[in-house]
């Protein structure tokens, strides 16, 4: 029964992709409103989200900044890395499952071509053989969703903490830019856009027959990040750049072992035949 539900994975992934895009838009809209009318986070802030998620992250950034000579720029870099390290096990699990799913896409496509008829009996047979394929490669098509649901509140909370920490908006210069104002030379926005593209490109590498939605996001997401980073305070662009670089390095080291394991399973299966 579980794997029959998983047979709707293609439709589910499309919905997740759409929801992720909408979530980003909501996040950015909320960020814009906060920037235009700052509501700085304090220990007295009320509400579960502000009190238990945003404020602790803001406090952590402020504490780290004070430790390093009131450098909020260095604090954003350090805390971004700490948060990425904290959720690294979830990201590894998500990445491994994603790459395993990508590796079996050619076989899934062959099944779709074999059972191209849209009648109920044929589609049922397609679902059954697709589930057998998932079982053969020990892949759970729904596993990639759960780590995403857990890590998103943390990342969104950190995003809000950067916007709502008064010290960051008044921190002044860090390197060549003011943390509380957009990068005047557009260097950070360009790097943020390029690293976003590179991160997604690495994630998609080796994927045969990427669907149009994923191809669209490959170009749309970096363009959106670029536009937002041009207009947002440089502190956010710095956060995006550091997070993207971490993800690129993470994916670079995770991907080869995952692909080797999948190929080894395929080879073992071929040998049995």
DSSP 229-252: HHHS-HHHHHHHHHHHHHHHHHHH
pLDDT at 144: 59
Rounded Cα distance between 73 and 54, Å, is 18
State the residue for tokens 């304090």: 42
CA separation for the pair 102, 219 (Å, rounded): 19
pLDDT given for residue 64 in this prediction: 95
Per the listing, tokens 């991160």 go with: 199
CA distances from 270 to 113, 217, 266, 267, 273 (A): 21, 35, 6, 5, 5
Question: Per the structure block, which two tokens stand in for 202?
Answer: 């690495």
Predicted pLDDT at 34? 46
The list of the chain residues with pLDDT below 50 reads 1-16, 18-19, 22, 26, 29-37, 258, 262, 272-273
For the chain, the domains span: 2-272
Long-range contact set of residues 253-259: C-beta below 8 Å, sequence gap at least 24: 254/92, 254/95, 254/96, 254/99, 255/95, 255/99, 255/202, 255/205, 255/206, 258/95, 258/96, 258/99, 258/100, 258/103, 259/99, 259/103, 259/206
83: exposed, middle or buried (Cβ count in 10 Å: 0-12, 13-18, 19+): buried
Exposure string over 87-98, b if 16+ CB within 10 A, otherwise e: beebbbebbbbb
What does the pLDDT read at residue 31?
47
Q: What is the pLDDT of residue 142?
A: 64
Structure token digits, residue 97: 């499952």
**So what's the pLDDT on residue 264?**
54
User: 3-state class of 90 per DSSP?
Assistant: helix
Identify the pLDDT of residue 159: 83
CA distance linking residue 121 with residue 176, whole number of Å:
64
pTM of the entire predicted model:
0.70
Task: Please tell me the predicted confidence (pLDDT) of residue 146.
Answer: 62
Rg (CA), the chain: 22
């Amino acid at each position: 029964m579980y794997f029959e539900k998983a047979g709707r994975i293609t439709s589910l992934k499309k919905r997740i992709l759409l929801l992720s895009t909408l979530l980003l838009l909501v996040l950015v809209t909320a960020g814009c409103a906060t920037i235009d009318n700052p509501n700085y986070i304090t220990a007295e802030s009320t509400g579960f989200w502000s009190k238990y998620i945003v404020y602790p992250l803001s406090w952590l950034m402020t504490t780290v900044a004070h430790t390093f000579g009131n450098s909020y720029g260095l604090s954003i870099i350090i805390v971004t890395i700490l948060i990425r390290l904290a959720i690294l096990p979830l990201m590894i699990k998500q990445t491994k499952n994603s790459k395993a799913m990508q590796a079996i896409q050619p076989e899934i496509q062959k099944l779709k071509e074999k059972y191209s008829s849209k009648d109920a009996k044929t589609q049922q047979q397609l679902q059954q053989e697709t589930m057998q394929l998932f079982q053969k490669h020990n892949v759970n098509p729904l596993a990639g969703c759960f780590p995403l649901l857990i890590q998103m509140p943390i990342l969104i909370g950190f995003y809000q903490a950067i916007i709502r920490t008064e010290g960051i908006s008044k921190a002044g210069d860090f390197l060549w830019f003011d943390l509380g104002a957009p990068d005047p030379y557009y260097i950070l926005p360009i790097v943020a856009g390029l690293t976003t593209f590179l991160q997604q490109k690495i994630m998609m590498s080796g994927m045969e027959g990427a669907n149009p939605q994923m191809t669209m996001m490959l170009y749309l997401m970096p363009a959106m990040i670029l536009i937002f980073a041009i207009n947002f305070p440089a502190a956010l662009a710095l956060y995006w750049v550091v997070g993207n670089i971490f993800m690129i390095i993470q994916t670079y080291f995770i991907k080869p072992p995952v692909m080797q394991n999948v190929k080894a399973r395929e080879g073992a299966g071929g040998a049995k035949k």
